Amino acid sequence: MFLPDFIDHTNLKPTALPSDIKKLCEEAKTYGFYAVCVNGCHVSVAKEALKDTKVKIAAVVGFPLGAMSTKAKVFEAKDCVENGADEIDMVINIGWLKSNQFDLVRNDIKSIKQAIGNITLKVILETCYLTPSEKEKACILAVEAGADFVKTSTGFGNGGATFDDVILMKKMVGDKAKIKASGGIKDRETALKYIDLGVSRIGTSSGPSLLN
């Protein structure tokens, strides 16, 4: 197990400058991280900074609230891919989920997956706002819609990843989807614990300190 292979090195701050994104990419190259994760407006900056490297680019869609229309999310996802994104991290529509509008939630995810084709799609559940039964249902809907990953958190809610949430998510998706833990993961011991629990990716802005 090589820890950098699990890390999406992340800067999603609204105040991030192009220079900050370039620094993020340089760190990703230095440490050999799997990917960087950025807002859509920075995808082209990351693409240029990472050319001729193996580092992937993940772009967030419907971030951080998930409350945009499906049509808007689809347009955003396609735009990110056209600008060079290798993966899309979309936020689930939390209000639709909590009001039992499951067909809308499933279609929201499915529409993006259909629009981006073979591009990896991660579905952010924002677990801090969900009950255990809602987390279970969100995992089921994501798998039914063809998602490649379920992901715990945006890092902008009132809580991030927890071990209990990852255990629940792994129980629900099994081998049908991978899991990304994100939000509040700031030390190596915690990251390794998540990997032991079955996550395939760690979203963190603390990648270098996890390795040093």
Active site residue 180: yes
DSSP state, 197?
T
Among candidate residues 75, 64, 67, the one with its CA nearest the CA of residue 96:
67
The single residue listed with the structure tokens 């900074």 is 49
Is 89 annotated as catalytic? Answer: yes
Which residue among the candidates 73, 122, 151, 178 is catalytic per the annotation? 151
| Catalytic-residue membership of 47 | no
From 89, 108, 148, 165, active-site residue: 89
Q: How far apart are the first and last CA of the chain?
A: 17
- Scored b (16 or more CB within 10 A) or e, 60-78 reads bbbbbebebebeebbebbb
Closest CA to 108 of 120, 119, 124: 124
Q: Please identify which of the residues 113, 122, 137, 180 carries the catalytic annotation.
A: 180
Just list the catalytic residues.
89, 151, 180
